[in-house]
Homo-oligomer: A and B are copies of this chain.
Amino acid sequence: MNGTRRALRFTLTACLLLSLPAQAQPADPLPSWNQSAPKLAILKFVADVTREGAPGFVPAPERIAVFDNDGTLWAEHPVYFQLAFALDRVKSLAPAHPEWKTKAPFSAVLSGDQKALAASGEKGILELVTATHAGMTTAAFSQIVVAWLDSARHPRFQRPYTDLVYQPMLELLRYLREKGFKTYIVSGGGIAFMRTFSEKVYGVPPEQVIGSTILTQYELRDGKPAIVRLAKLDFIDDKAGKPVAIEKFIGRRPLLAFGNSDGDRQMLEWTAAGRGLRLMGLIHHTDAEREYAYDRKSEIGRLDLALDEAIAKNRIVVDMRKDWKKIFPFDP
């Protein structure tokens, strides 16, 4: 054996030795999850559908994973963050609308009368949304949202709203993508609102964000093409609307769905009814200390019937307090 051969053999041996431990113990893809039932179920499911030749194998193009946003990927208390945006925007637009001082629901927002605001109901919320989300081009609206996200702070955590995303879910999204899944957001939130941050914060590109929409119109403004947001509701992507939107935007049934409230029931039901292996999960907000604790009685993100169903059907229920080591990326 000459010197070159010896050197080659040495290098090969070193390579093998160095790579072996990495193969035997691959890095944990979900480090912020405790080794409890939800994590084990996720890892088993992903292994089962991605192992070529296994009975549960699903080709990569069919690996669709859908996630609700509010309360599933980021927090939603004390109010949906998009509602906080609408309320802030009413305040900033108020000087140009003196009539709002005496006109509900705007008067309730301006005087901080939570009770009157709640009393204005769905009709009131819709009025707020159209007054604050319509009348401008889609490009102008995105800029308004981006500026708000840059400056607004969550009342309890005193941080940008986009900091209040769940670290374990960021890890789950990334892990699924590494395993060939296409990750989608399917939320009652506004599609244009979410698209301003989904790619940066979640790694989910705009074309994989599905949400509620208002009507828009193509027109020429000063000779330049523009798409203008109209003060008219198009579609509410909640409850039975979620499977309808999934079928319309994706055209395939998801393999995996995560939600956190009764608004996600039909999405989970539709996913569960597919052939072969499917994974359905709920995030249960049980951690008042690190985040919030709420379920059956909450006005925002109520989790009642969907929780009963998940328990009866042995689906994943993530107990945030017990199953997650960390809630937010900034947690110690």
CB distance from A217 to the nearest CB of B (A): 7
Q: Find residues 18-43 in chain A having any chain B CB closer than 8 Å to their own CB.
A: none
Q: Find residues 36-70 in chain A having any chain B CB closer than 8 Å to their own CB.
A: 61, 64
Residue in chain B with minimal CB distance to A266: B218
User: Would you call B251 and A209 a contact (CB within 8 A)?
Assistant: yes
* A interface bracket (residues with beta carbon within 8 Å of B): 35 or more
Which of A156-164, A240-248, A297-305, A314-322 forms contacts with chain B?
Answer: A240-248
User: Would you call A243 and B225 a contact (CB within 8 A)?
Assistant: yes
Residue in chain B with minimal CB distance to A251: B206
Q: Find residues 202-222 in chain A having any chain B CB closer than 8 Å to their own CB.
A: 205-207, 209, 213, 216-219
Q: What per-residue 1/0 map shows which CB atoms of A287-328 lie under 8 Å from chain B?
A: 000000000000000000000000000000000000000000
Residues of B within 8 A of A195 (CB): 251
Interface positions of A (Cβ within 8 A of B): 2, 4-5, 61, 64, 138, 182, 191-192, 195, 199, 205-207, 209, 213, 216-219, 224-225, 227, 240-241, 243-244, 247-252, 266, 269-270, 273
Residue in chain B with minimal CB distance to A273: B225
User: Would you call A205 and B5 a contact (CB within 8 A)?
Assistant: no
User: Would you call B217 and A244 a contact (CB within 8 A)?
Assistant: yes
User: Would you call B269 and A213 a contact (CB within 8 A)?
Assistant: no
User: Would you call B61 and A247 a contact (CB within 8 A)?
Assistant: no
Told that A2-B4, A225-B243 touch, could you supply 6 new A-B pairs with CB distance under 8 A?
Answer: A138-B247, A191-B251, A205-B252, A207-B250, A217-B244, A218-B266
Q: How far is the CA of A251 from the CA of B191 in the complex (A)?
A: 9
CB distance from A324 to the nearest CB of B (A): 29
Residues of B within 8 A of A249 (CB): 207, 249
User: Would you call A270 and B225 a contact (CB within 8 A)?
Assistant: yes
23 contacts between A and B (CB under 8 A): A4-B4, A4-B5, A61-B199, A61-B205, A138-B247, A182-B207, A206-B252, A207-B250, A207-B251, A213-B248, A216-B244, A216-B247, A216-B248, A218-B240, A218-B241, A218-B243, A219-B240, A225-B243, A225-B269, A225-B270, A225-B273, A227-B247, A249-B249
The 5 closest A-B pairs by CB, nearest first: A206-B251, A218-B240, A207-B250, A225-B273, A195-B251
Q: How far is the CA of A213 from the CA of B195 in the complex (A)?
A: 23
CB distance from A30 to the nearest CB of B (A): 25
Residues of B within 8 A of A207 (CB): 64, 182, 249-252
Max count, chain B CB within 10 A of own CB: residue among A247, A252, A269, A273: A247
Residues of B within 8 A of A219 (CB): 240
Residue in contact with A218 in the complex, picked from B5, B244, B250, B251, CB distance below 8 Å: B244
Q: How far is the CA of A5 from the CA of B8 in the complex (A)?
A: 12
